Each structure stands twice: as structure tokens, then as C-alpha cells.
Amino acid sequence: MKPRFAMMSLVLASALTASAAHAYDPDWKRGRIYYRSVCTSCHVASPIGQINPSSKTKAEWTAYLSANKHAKGKDTVTHYVSKEYRAQIKGSNKAAEKFADVPEQELFEDIKAFLLRGAKDGEAPASCS
């Protein structure tokens, strides 16, 4: 019986550790605020123009975010959620200031949740107006 109990304990401990490592539940509302305040404000001023979440499907957004290439590979998507970038623009951007201390990976997951929710085939296709 002891080996079986030890094995069950090991399986349970592994399951608890794995679930704790993936415990963050993305906040699409926070992602929406950041995307609209930071990403959209910059894109409106650029030649590319505004990029609505509904301009791509969930698969296209997932591929774009996984590739982590922005501006045709000139920089990364993760740069724009980095604490360093937020510190640079917080004087002129209230969202960057408000979310200055949010961990980078959490903010990235929040934005991803917003984009997938608002994608062309998402739960609530969204524009940025």
C-alpha cells in the first residue's frame, strides 16, 4: 500500500504545482484599456493607422503574438508591454502610468485575452472607436 500512496501523493503534488504555475486568469478589460490607450494611440499617429481587434481572426492574433514581431520584425510586441516602455511613456499616457507596476507577462496575457475576445471570430468582435 505504501508505494501506491506515495505515487498518489506525487501525482497530487504535481497537479497542484502545475495548476499554481498557470493560475493567472487574464483580465480582458485591463487588456482593452491598455490596447486602446497605448497601442491604438500610437497606431493612429502612424501611416499604418488604427488596428481593430476585429481586423484579424483568433488564429491570426495568436500567430502574431506568438511570433512576437512588431513593425515587420523591426522590434517585438513584448517591448510595448515592458515596464521599461511603460516608464518611458507614462508622462504622456495615463494607462502606461496606471499599469506601470503590472508584471509584463500578465499585461501581455490581458492584451491577448482582449484581442482574442474581440477578434473577427471572437466572442465579441470589437473596434477601437
Q: What gap in Å lies between CA 41 and CA 35, rounded to an integer? A: 9
Mean pLDDT lowest among 12-16, 51-55, 96-100? 12-16
- What proportions of the chain, in percent to the nearest 5, are helix, strand and coil? 65, 0, 35
Place 40 in a pLDDT band, splitting at 50, 70 and 90: confident
3-state secondary structure of 103: coil
